[in-house]
Structure 1
Amino acid sequence: MTSLGIDHHVSAEFAPETTFLNTAVRGLLPRRAAEAVQALTAELVSGGRSGSGDFATVDRARASFARLVGVDPSRVATGGSVAVHVGLIAASLPAGAEVLFPEGDFSSLINPFVLRGDLKPRFAPLDELADAIRPKTALVAFSTVQSADGRTADCAAIREAAAAHGARTLADTTQSAGWQPLDAGAYDYSVTGAFKWLLCPRGTSFLTVGEAAQESLAPLHGGWLAAADAWNSTYGPIGEVVADARRFDEPPAFLAHHGAAAALSLIEEIGVDAIHRHDLALAARYRAGLAGLGHAPVPGASPIVSVPGLADREPELARAGVVVAARAGHLRATFHLYNTEADVDRLLDVLAG
Structure 2
Amino acid sequence: MSPDPIPSLAPDEFAPETAYLNTASMGLPPARTRAVLAEDLAEWAAGRANPVRYDIPVGTSRACFARLVGARPEQVAIGSQVSSLVGLIAAALPAGAEVLLGQGDFTSLTQPFHGRGDLKVRTVPLEELAASVGPATALVAVSAVQSADGRVADIAALRAATTAHGARLLVDGTQAVGWLPIRADQVDYLVCGAYKWLLAPRGTAFLVVSPEAAANLRPIAAGWYAGEDPWAECYDTVRLATSARRFDVAPAWHAFAGTAPSLALIEELTPARIGAHNLALAERFRAGLAGLGHRPVPGESAIVSTPGLGTAAAELARAGVVMSNRAGNLRAAFHLYTTSADVDRALDVLSGLPSPAAEG
TM-score normalised to the size of structure 2?
A: 0.94
Cα distance in 1, alignment partners of residues 267 and 306 from structure 2: 32
The answer to whether 1:146 aligns with 2:146 is yes
User: Hey, which bits of structure 1, 4+ residues long, moved more than 3 A?
Assistant: 6-9
Return the alpha-carbon distance in structure 2 between the equivalents of residues 232 and 311 of structure 1.
53
Please name the residue that 2:174 is paired with.
174
Question: Percent same amino acid among aligned pairs?
Answer: 56
Report the Cα distance in structure 1 between the residues aligned to 2:229 and 2:218, rounded to whole angstroms.
18
Change (3 A) 1:254 1:221: same
Partner of 1:313: 312
Equivalence for 1:131: 131
Q: How many residues align?
A: 347
Q: Which residue of 2 aligns with 1:257?
A: 256
How do 1:137-286 and structure 2 match up within 5 A? 137-238=137-238, 240-286=239-285
Contact between 2:226 and 2:249, CA under 8 Å: does it hold in 1? no
The 8 Å contact of residues 44 and 51 in structure 1, kept in 2 or not, is answered as: no
Contact 2:65 2:263 in 1 (8 A): yes
Aligned to 1:108: 108
The one-character-per-residue Cα deviations of 1:285-304 (angstroms, maximum 9, x if unpaired) are: 01111111111100110010
In the alignment, the residues of structure 2 paired with residue 180 and residue 349 of structure 1 have an alpha-carbon distance, to the nearest angstrom, of 28
Aligned letter for 1:73? P
Q: Distance in 2 between matches of 1:323 and 1:154?
A: 29
Structure 1 residue 102, shift from structure 2 partner: 0.4
Amino acid in the other structure paired with 2:12:
A
Contact preservation (8 Å) 1:23, 1:197: yes
Residue 296 of structure 1 corresponds to which residue in structure 2? 295
Give yes or no for contact 1:14–1:338 (8 Å, CA) kept in 2.
yes
The residue type equivalent to 2:100 in the other structure is L
* Structure 1 residue 229 displacement after superposition: 2.6
In the TM superposition, residue 245 of structure 1 has moved relative to its aligned partner by 0.5
Matched residues in 1 for 2:339 and 2:231: separation? 48
In the TM superposition, residue 227 of structure 1 has moved relative to its aligned partner by 1.9
The Cα RMSD (Å) is 1.3
What's the CA shift for 1:222? 2.2
Instruction: Give the equivalent residue in structure 1 for 2:332.
Output: 333
* Structure 2 portions without partners, runs of 5+: 1-5, 353-360
Q: Measure how far apart 1:51 and its partner are.
A: 5.7
Bigger shift: residues 40-49 or 148-157? 40-49
- SS of the residue corresponding to residue 177 of structure 1 reads coil
Tell me by how many angstroms 1:16 deviates. Answer: 0.4
Deviations 1:282-339 (A, max 9, x none): 0000111111111110011001000111111111101001000011111111100000
CA contact (8 A) 2:8 2:336 kept: no
Which residue of 2 is the match for residue 63 of structure 1?
A: 63
Residue 30 of structure 2 corresponds to residue 11 of structure 1 = no
Give the direction of change, closer, same or farther, for the CA distance of 1:51–1:35 in structure 2 (3 Å limit): farther
Scaled by the length of structure 1, what TM-score is found? Answer: 0.96
1:201-254 deviation digits (Å, cap 9, x = unpaired): 10011100000011111112221222223222111122x321111111110001
Alignment check: 8 A CA contact 1:40 1:51 kept: no
SS in 2 for 1:197: coil
For residue 50 of structure 1, report the CA deviation from its aligned partner: 2.3
CA distance in 2, matches of 1:232, 1:111: 36
**Which residue does the alignment assign to 2:74?**
74
Aligned counterparts of 1:271 and 1:336: Cα–Cα separation in 2:
12
SS in 2 for 1:37: helix
* CA distance in structure 2 between the aligned counterparts of 1:24 and 1:231, rounded to whole angstroms: 36
